[in-house]
Amino acid sequence: MKKEFSTVYTPGSRIRTPWLLLKDMFSGILNGRELAWRLAVRDITAQYRQTALGLLWALIMPLASTLTWVFLNGTGIVSVGRTELPYPVYVLTGTMLWSIFMDALNAPLQDSIASKAMLSKINFPREAIILAGIYKVLFNGGIKIGIIIAALLILGIHPDWHIAFFPLGVLSLILAGTTLGLFFTPIGLLYTDIGRLLSMAMQFLMYLTPVVFPMPESGWVALLFQVNPLTPLILTTRDWLTGFTPGFLGSFLIVNGIMLVLLLVVLLIYRLVMPILIERMSA
C-alpha cells in the first residue's frame, strides 16, 4: 500500500523548535547537492564561454594588480616596507588569496540575485544556491592556485612540506568569505545598495590585511591589522604556500572555529528569512 505524506503548516514560530530547523537545513544541503552541481556547471560554462580570453581572466586581474603595486613600490610612490618574501611574490600571493576570499564573499548574494526568478517559481532546497556558489569558487580557486604555484617556481620560490596544509588555508578563506557573504545576503536581496557598500568596505579592508602591505610593527594601524580576523587567514595560508612556519596558527584556528559557528547561524537565518524574501520579491 502506497503511503501518502503531507506537510502541515502551523502559526507557531520555527525558532521554537531549533532542532527541527537544523534537521531541515542539513536535509536541504543534502538534497540540494545534485542541483547545486548542475547550477555550478551551467554558470561556469556560461562564464568562460562568453569571454574571448576565457580562463586567462583568472590570471590577468591579479597580475595587473601585482604589476601596479610592484611599480608603485619600485618607483617610491608608495613605501610598502620590508617583506620576508620578494615583494612581487608577496603581493602576487596576497592578491590571489584575496581574490579567492572575495569570490566566496560575493557568491551568496550574486547567486541569490541571479536566481530570483527561479526562487519565486520553483520549490527547491534554497541551500543549493549556496552550494553552487561554493563549487564555483572552488573551481576558480583551483585555477588561481595553479597559477600561483607556477609563478612561484618561475620566481625561484620552491614550496616545502608545508604546502600539504595549503588547501586548508584556502578552505578557510572560502569559509570566511561564504559566512560573511551569507550574512549580508538577506538584506542585500532587498536593497541593492548593500552589494555596492560591501565592495567598498572590502576594498578598504584589504589595505588593513597583509595582502599588499606587510604587518606594521607598531602604532594604531598595527593594532587594526592584528584584530582583523582575515590577517591570520592570509598570513598562515601564504606561509604554508611559500615554506615558512606559520606565526599566527593559533589565531588561524580560533578564527576558523568562530567562522564555523557563524556559518551555522547564518545558514539558519537564511533558511528562516528566505520564504519571507521570496514572497516580497514575488509581490
Residue with cell 607556477: 150
At 17-70, the pLDDT tens digits run: 566 666 777 777 777 788 888 888 888 787 767 665 556 666 677 777 778 877
Q: DSSP character for 207?
A: T
Look-up of cell digits 560591501:
198
Instruction: Locate 64 and state its grid cell.
Output: 595587473
Q: Measured between alpha carbons, how far is 13 from 272 in angstroms, rounded to an integer?
A: 10
Most confident of 23-37, 152-166, 249-263: 249-263
* pLDDT tens, residue by residue, 71-93: 877 777 777 777 788 888 888 88
Burial track 56-76 (b if 16+ CB lie within 10 A, e otherwise) = eebbeebbebbeebbeebeee
CA separation, residue 227 to residues 94, 105, 177, 202, 221 (Å): 18, 20, 17, 16, 10
For residues 247 and 239, give the distance between their C-alpha atoms in angstroms, rounded to a whole number.
8
Residue that is written with C-alpha cell 600539504 in the block: 164
